Each structure stands twice: as C-alpha cells, then as structure tokens.
Amino acid sequence: MQPAALTFSVLSFLGVAAQLAGALLLVSLFLMMRRFVLRRPYFSAWTAAWAAFAAAIGALVIRYILVPDMVGFAPPESHPAVRVLYFIYQMCKGLGFVFFLRGTLMYVAGTTAGFLATRKLWAGAALFAIASTLASRNGLNEMVVWQSAIAVPALGYCASALLWLPRPRRTVGSMATGACFACLALLWLGYAGAFALTVRSAGTHTGGVPSHIVNFNSYFDLTFNLLLGYAMLLVLMEDNKREIDDAQAELRVTHDQLRRAALYDSLTDSLNRHAFAEGVGLEMVRATFGTVVLADLDNLKLVNDHFGHSAGDRILRRCADVIRATLRPYDKLYRWGGDEFLLIVPSAHATDVIERLQAALDDAAHVEIQGVGDPIPLQVSLGAADFASSEELSFAIERADRAMYLEKGRRKSDPRSGIPSITPTSVAAIR
C-alpha cells in the first residue's frame, strides 16, 4: 500500500483488491468448514481473526478506492471520515492479532486458558487503535509501523507456542501453522523497517529493497495469509480425523461386543449354536478329518427343580470349564442347547477324545451349592462320531446325538443316577 500520495497506483489497487478477495475467501471457507465439521473454539477464534482482517482491508478499500470514486477526489488525511476509517482499520487489525492469539492459546492450552489470557488484550486493541490513529499524521505507512509493534510479538508467540508443542501433540498441521506464523512475524519485522524508512523520507523517493517491500506488501500479505489459512484448515482436518478415528474405534469395540454377544453364550463363555451356523470356529474342520462329541448334563433338571436355577447355572459353568480344559486351541466348544454341549475336534478320533473327556469329568471336583449338604457331581452323558470331511459334519452330529441319547436312556434306567447319588460318567462312541 502506498498512501503517501493521495492517488492510488494501479499496482496498489490490484494489491488491495486481491488482499480483500483473499481475506473474504478465507472467511467464507472457514465458515463453510465450521458448518460441515464439528466446531472447535480455537477454529472459531481464527475465523474471527480472518473476519477482522477482511473488515480492516475493507476500510482501506473505502478510503482509497470507493470514496475518491464517489466524490471525485481523495479526502485529506485530516478529514474526520478518513480518521474514522483509519481507526476502524487499526481496530480490526488489532482484533485480528488478538484473535490469532486467542485461537492459538485455545488450541495449545484449552478454552479457559485462551479466554483468560486474551480478555484484557481486547481492551488493549481498542486503546492501541485510538492511540495509533491519533498519533499517525503520515497516513497508512505510519500505521503499518504501529501495527508491527503488536504484530511481531503476537505472531511470534503463536509460532513458538505451536512449534514447541510437546512431541506427541506435534502434527503436520500444527507445525505448518507455526511455520506460517513465524514467516509472518519475520515479514512484519521487515515491514517495520521498510515502512519506517518510507515515513522518515516522506516526500522523497525511496528506492531499493524498502521500496519494493512497501509497493508489494499487499501481495506478500496475500501469499502468506493464504498459506496460513490453509495450514489452519489442516489443523482442523487433523482434529476431525482424530475424532472420526476415535468414533470408528468405539464402533469397532461396540461391534466386537455385539458380535461376541451374538456368537457366545454369556453363561458358559462358549460359542453358541448361531456361531456354528455362521461357521465360526470351523476353519480347521474344512481342511481335515475329526470327531464331534455331544455332552448332555443328566442331572441339570433335578438341580434346577431342587435347588434353583442359580445352582443349575453353576453346574453348567463347571461342565463347560472342565470340557474346555481338555481342548486344544483349534478345538471348539459350543453350547448346543439348554444342557447340551457340542465339541468339534479336528484331526482326532472319537475313542481318543472320549477317553480324555471321561478322565477329565471323572476327576472334576463336585460343585458345592449353598444349603446343600453334599457337593453335586457332574453327571454327563457323551456321544461321539467321526467325520472324514466337513461335508460329513452334519451327519456326524446326528449320529453323535443318537449315541448320546442312547447313553442317556441307559443311565436314566439306572436307579443310582439321581441326586444326590453319584454315577460314573458314561460314554458311547460311534464311528
């Protein structure tokens, strides 16, 4: 911007117009992102900062483009309307830097810390605008020098706060935003020197690097502001991605819990009949031979009738635990019915499996029930059948079921099979 003369060059006109368009683009983009993603306080503060900068550039557009076009001449620096526009410009610029600070503090330390740390700075921005407007007699160039006094420390603090985050919190977005803040702080440091030289040499031509900085500062601002804006959007998208990842993790946990509830029997922690129908645990069976075993608790109904279902539940859990202890990692135990369990044992034969199960059940400790004098034994009927391939599995289960019921019938005819008398676990193996 080059307001030392009261006419605006084409270069300055294009620079201010482009800077205003860039600020409005960032404001609209930030507002759109606030609408479609979860809102975050730091992002709201940064959106307010870009809105304040857009309002500041708008005041310059009115001062140097709209007003001269409407009245046919450029009002002098001392005109009251011009001073009001300069105050708005300084106030909005000050608020922009304050909102940058507040957003950064919110991101780094949380909402409360951000508010407490910047509450007094808003009043300071108003006092700064009043003082700098009254003290500036050489137009906009002198105001830029005033602005650098707050821009450099504010932008420098934002850069350091983001670049020196704890290592676990450092992300591509936070590092990029911090780097852009650092570049802007250095840029404003350069503005302080270049515009100060321009003010000091008012009325004379200033060449070299300071002149180029003054003439092209709008384009520098536009470039670095756009980079900073998109880095801030990256920070927001990273936070949004973390929220999505957390939600997906919770959904996976919930899905696993629901799947477990659907496929496992909650009482015995065994797979259920639905799991068998879904093919859960049958991977080994598809590639080898094996045997199936059906185990049925003979005395569960008597326990339920005499001592209640809680006692029956203890019997069921003990039976499942005893059987599970005999299984290999790829053997599977299913709760097949109310008092029935199905065992799928790949790469094994019925005689070997039955012998191992019978020994485990014979050695199993009896279940102690409160209010019952003697512990209750596990009275289990077993039926087994071999299968040569997975295609024979259903038929093997039917044969094992028939064998188990034959054994159960034999045991029921034994008068010693009722509670509290104990009968040995019987076995019927069918090939």
* Domain match, 289 and 357 both: yes
Whether 363 is covered by a domain: the verdict is: yes
- Tally of CB atoms within 10 A around 362: 11
Sequence-distant (6+) residues with CB within 8 A of 135 are: 142, 146
Q: Which domain holds residue 167?
A: 10-251
Looking at residue 6, its pLDDT comes to 38
For 327, which DSSP code?
-
What CATH number should be reported for the domain holding residue 335?
A: 3.30.70.270
* Domain match, 349 and 390 both: yes
- Tally of CB atoms within 10 A around 253: 10
Active-site pick, 339, 352, 363, 401: 339
Whether 357 is covered by a domain: the verdict is: yes
Whether 183 is covered by a domain: the verdict is: yes
* Domain match, 294 and 382 both: yes
Q: Judge whether 339 counts as a catalytic residue.
A: yes
Whether 265 is covered by a domain: the verdict is: no
- Pair of tokens at residue 208: 């070299």
Whether 257 is covered by a domain: the verdict is: no
* Domain match, 211 and 278 both: no
pTM for the whole structure: 0.65
Mean pLDDT for each 10-residue chunk of the chain (431 residues)?
Answer: 42 67 81 69 87 89 79 75 88 91 88 57 82 81 88 95 92 95 94 84 62 79 90 89 87 88 91 92 90 92 85 91 92 92 94 91 83 78 93 94 88 56 39 39
* Domain match, 238 and 296 both: no
* Domain match, 26 and 83 both: yes
Looking at residue 15, its pLDDT comes to 66
Looking at residue 272, its pLDDT comes to 93
Whether 143 is covered by a domain: the verdict is: yes
* Domain match, 29 and 154 both: yes
* Domain match, 45 and 172 both: yes
**Distance, CA of 179 to CA of 160 (rounded, Å):** 9
Looking at residue 43, its pLDDT comes to 86
Looking at residue 342, its pLDDT comes to 96
* Domain match, 44 and 84 both: yes
Looking at residue 204, its pLDDT comes to 55
